[in-house]
Amino acid sequence: MTKPAHLKPMTPLALQSKLPAVGTTIFTTMSALASEKNAVNLGQGFPDFNCDPALVEAVSDAMKSGLNQYPPMVGIPSLRLIIAEKIKKLHGYAYDSTTEITITAGATQGLLTAIMCAVHPGDEVIVIEPAYDSYVPAIKLAGGKPVFVQMTLSADGYTVPWDQVSAAVTSRTRLIMINSPHNPTGSVLSAIDIAALTDIVRDTDILILSDEVYEHMVYDGLVHESVSRHPELAERAFIVSSFGKTYHVTGWKIGFVAAPAALSVEFRKVHQFNVFTVNTPVQHGIAAYMKNAAPYLELSAFYQRKRDLFRAGLQDSRFKLLPSDGTYFQCVDYSAISASSEVDFATWLTSEIGVAAIPVSAFYSTPRESGIVRFCFAKQDETLHKALARLNTI
């Protein structure tokens, strides 16, 4: 058969990339280098210890009892109900578990799905940097335009310049993305921050996407100002959380999104054709495990002890410790050690000292040098002591 004359010769692999600027992530690069150099990996953010055996048993029991087929698309009712009850108890906001809680295949899928359902081509999305690396690709896949506002860095750590956020709002602004507790800086939004955000979006149609995956890791008596504590914001927000972070099972890839019914309707349309639904026995296992609130209520104390151990171990080092009010990350200023770029310093630290870290510059759309790297302290004490011994040789 003769091809039509108007068709140009092409190879089947001549695919135009939707994400041409995306390559291998810094997390993959640093973890591979850590493995090659036999370094202590404090770079990528996951625990090196096991979860509670009772949680594994609960999931195993669900499998053994035959709960292995498709669950409801939005998640099993018992899990959605216990999530709604938890939010009501902790933050006071009453979500309808039937229409306003959706179980997701991890927080990243929840973030992508929220963006895909809310953002249309040409819409603007305000991203506060440094920012988790999935935000901007998701916005671009939706055809949106990311608008960047950089956090302010001072001796008190990282803060959001709300006057700049307000100035970034235009008639095209559809969504403002916030993250607290914040990855990578370890900062936590205060009630004053929430009030400023509320003032910005009041009397607008701007939505909020609140990444709260570290919701149970807030230290020194601070309060996690979940958007669900603030009805005026909750009524226009998607709130994303992660069981992987809370229960030390990042590889299970399960989380949830809470949003008002009108937003959840559109969220679920995309969710249905994105992943359709989420691992059945894991949902049942977590629902059973959550009947005991202690594991998530005690998580802040668990990680604060690790944070304090790590900070004490670096107290007499040449690193300058930045505040770590939440998450399981500790940022440090290395300017007293080196004038190298953050990527070069993290590479040297991994290769020569034997401890992997992540350059904070990797969390900006355009690399921004501050002389700061991020460590993850979600590790066994033995791992932390080994890393600290090496870091104190510098």
* Same structural domain, 36 and 77: no
* Same structural domain, 120 and 252: yes
Residue at 21 is within a domain: no
**Domain end residue (candidates: 230, 263, 292):** 292
**Domain end residue (candidates: 257, 292, 327):** 292
* Same structural domain, 257 and 168: yes
* Same structural domain, 38 and 161: no
Domain CATH number, residue 384: 3.90.1150.10
Q: What is the pLDDT of residue 21?
A: 86
* Same structural domain, 378 and 263: no
* Same structural domain, 234 and 327: no
Contacts 24+ apart (CB under 8 A), 88-97: 90/226, 91/226, 91/228, 91/229, 92/228, 92/229, 93/228, 93/229, 93/231, 93/234, 95/228, 95/258, 96/261
* Same structural domain, 242 and 128: yes
* Same structural domain, 219 and 125: yes
**Checking DSSP bridges between strand 207-211 and strand 372-376, what pairing results, if any?**
unpaired
* Same structural domain, 135 and 207: yes
SS3 state of residue 209:
strand
What is the CB-side half-sphere exposure of residue 35 using CA atoms within 13 A? 7
**Cα 215–chain centre separation:** 10
Total tally of structural domains belonging to the chain: 2
* Same structural domain, 287 and 304: no
Residue at 278 is within a domain: yes
Partners of 208 in the β-ladder: 176, 237
285's enclosing H/E stretch is helix 280-289
Residue at 71 is within a domain: yes
Residue at 242 is within a domain: yes
SS3 state of residue 204:
coil
**Domain end residue (candidates: 251, 269, 292):** 292
Q: Give Dmax (Cα) for the chain.
A: 77
Residue at 4 is within a domain: no
Total residue count of the chain as it appears in this document: 394
pLDDT beneath 70, residues of the chain = 1-13
Domain span at residue 369? 26-45+297-391
Residue at 8 is within a domain: no
Domain CATH number, residue 209: 3.40.640.10
* Same structural domain, 58 and 157: yes
Distances (CA, A) of 118 to 47, 174, 358: 33, 8, 31
Q: What is the pLDDT of residue 8?
A: 66
**Checking DSSP bridges between strand 124-129 and strand 372-376, what pairing results, if any?**
unpaired
Q: Which residues contact 306 (CB under 8 A, 6 or more apart)?
A: 328, 377, 378, 379, 381, 384
pTM of the model: 0.95
Residue carrying structure tokens 């559109």: 266
* Same structural domain, 246 and 306: no
Q: How far apart are CA 358 and CA 327, in angstroms?
A: 15
Residue at 64 is within a domain: yes
Residue at 12 is within a domain: no
CA angle 164, 121, 236 (to 5 degrees): 55
Q: How far apart are CA 180 and CA 212, in angstroms?
A: 6
